[in-house]
Amino acid sequence: MIPSHKAEQAAIARQLLEALARYDRDLSLLVARGLDAELAQRVSEQFDLMRSYSTALPTLSVTWVELLISRFDMTHAMWSNRNGGTTHRVAKLHAYHRSIIDEARRKCGACIAAAALRDGQAPPAAPTSPAPL
C-alpha cells in the first residue's frame, strides 16, 4: 500500500470510529424505545454514512458484511414485534450486532495505529465501547 493511502485510510478510520459511536448510541436508544420512526431514520442515515466510509477500508470488508447482516436480522426482529417493546430476541440480536460494531472499532483502531507507526508516532489508545444504556 502506498504510504499516502495509509494516511488517508487512517483519516477515514477516524471518521468511521466517530460514526460508529453515534450509531451505537442512537441504535441503543432505538432498541430501548421501540417503534420510533424519526430515530429509526436517523440510525438508517448513520448506517449509510458508515457504509461510505467502510468502502475505503478494505480491511473492514468482512466485518462490514457481518454488520450489514446482523443489522438486517435485528431490524427485522424489531419491526416484526407489534408490541413495540424490546423482546429477548431483539436484545440478543442487538448484543450480537454490538459485538460486530466492537470488531469494526478494533479494525479502525488497527488501521490508525498502523499509519501512526509508519509516521513514527506512538499508536493511539485502543477505542473503547461506550457503556450500554
User: Which residues does 61 contact at the CB level (< 8 Å), separation at least 6?
Assistant: 54
pLDDT at 85: 63
Q: What is the pLDDT of residue 73?
A: 96
* Residue 87 CB neighbour total at 10 angstroms: 14
pLDDT of residue 1: 44
C-alpha cell, 125? 489508545
DSSP string across 78-105: HHH-TT-SPPHHHHHHHHHHHHHHHHHH
Query: Beta-carbon neighbour count of residue 5 at 10 Å?
Result: 11
pLDDT in the model for residue 100 = 98
- What is the chain's pLDDT, residue by residue, as a tens digit (133 residues)? 444 588 899 999 999 999 999 999 999 999 998 878 999 999 999 999 999 999 999 999 999 999 999 999 999 998 887 666 678 999 999 999 999 999 999 999 999 998 887 666 554 555 555 555 5
For position 3, what pLDDT does the model report? Answer: 47
